[in-house]
Amino acid sequence: MRRRCAAAGAPTIPGTAVKPRRRTSDEITAAMSRPVPPVPDQGDLVEHWRDCGLLDDEAVDALGGEQP
């Protein structure tokens, strides 16, 4: 069995010289596609941007937002 140690300056597991395992692309995709629950009282950015005048109705439609 061959022991590996991390290169100088590489991130390591605290208290060791062992570099953490690299995640596979499937693991990264699964983590990114997880649904994220909304935060209570969190506002809608598209609605906020429309209220501030940064977006017009056509831009809101393009982003899939709801019209009031």
- Whether the model clears a pTM of 0.85, i.e. scores above it, the answer is no
pLDDT score for 36: 79
d(CA 57, CA 44): 15
Of 18 and 33, more confident: 33
At residue 27 the predicted structure's pLDDT band, cuts being 50, 70 and 90, is very high
How many other CB atoms sit within 10 Å of the CB of residue 46?
Answer: 16
In the chain, the DSSP E strands lie at: none
Residue type, 5: C
52, pLDDT greater than 60? yes
Tell me if 11 sits within 8 A of 20, measured CB to CB. yes
pLDDT score for 22: 87
d(CA 67, CA 60): 8
Q: Where are the domains of the chain?
A: 42-68
65, pLDDT greater than 70? no
